[in-house]
Structure 1
């Protein structure tokens, strides 16, 4: 049976690392990336599907892949998707900042609505496992808006019928981003110093590649079931 990864948020720090690791991992035959625009990236395993995250329910995935199958390169994938001879795992690292979103309402749409919409689409298409990049401190009851939204997403995902839901809660993320986040950069410097001194180890910064690695390590486990929350400290151990 072919193993296929469905990925949303591929252009981000964790998502890009995830794509590269999926390409290198022989366990995965195909990688389907969903995004608002096509990435400047080519690989024999990669299928890019351009989507409107506001209208995911209108997406015909098979037709979208057929439209790109001009040379027959995706024929085996199409056959397996049509026959159900695939093991589908969905990975989601969609997210932004309130500054980049422009408002709390837009932030909620991207970080909550788009994530839940992708999860519903993946579940409807047959994905049994869902791996979500949340944040350390996520709590639906939090007074901090960012943490409150992340916690709400986690709760809504837990109500869905995936065989396994993995919620990954990284601390400050290390790695190259497309945009500069001053507050995050200051936080990284402070937390590196504190963790070096042995303080606040649970908040030790973690690289995007480590988060991606932890997600794939978990997906290699054969008997996953239920909901699991993996904090940053655990990801450091898994990805070591």
Structure 2
């Protein structure tokens, strides 16, 4: 599903940045609902077919399968790229025993472009098509569970004002600059996601965090993670001023 709503994050003093895919509702629920509807249609027409639905939740090499299915190709930033939708794509799949005609695999159109590699603030794209997750801002601000002291100073400084995820390598991709807009209203920015105020976030209790982000991907970082990220962003802004 395409999540490019055409909005831009608001930049300014005291503001954090949230990755574009997390501006709207949690894509897991949105996509699973659509896939379950399709699954029901398949089973209605072919009852003896076996199916299984995944949305970023199973041991599936989603990007590789998507390339083999002709949806796009894996770019030098390691994300899937579509010539129509760029990298603003969320992947889900239905595995089935139903025999279906195949498509031609996607062709790599990155060519000599290296904009994404140069744009990475931490140098996480160590070489074309290779990402060191330990240095990736998306990993550090979403999946990493350590405290501030466990993050090396050079990485913490490079995080800048990113408080959940990072789109820096995607923002410069030529295919993303001319990507088709999304038609899915579920991915429209929720209040506060385009311009999250750092001073407000650092005051969030666990209860307020749970209430505010219960239907948002931001809950993945957990309360402690988001508070840590907001504090890092504040420290970076203080040092820069």
- TM-score, shorter chain, exceeding 0.5: no
TM-score if structure 2 supplies the norm length? 0.26
Higher RCO (C-alpha under 8 Å, 6+ residues apart): 2
Pick the structure with more helix per residue.
1
TM-score if structure 1 supplies the norm length? 0.26
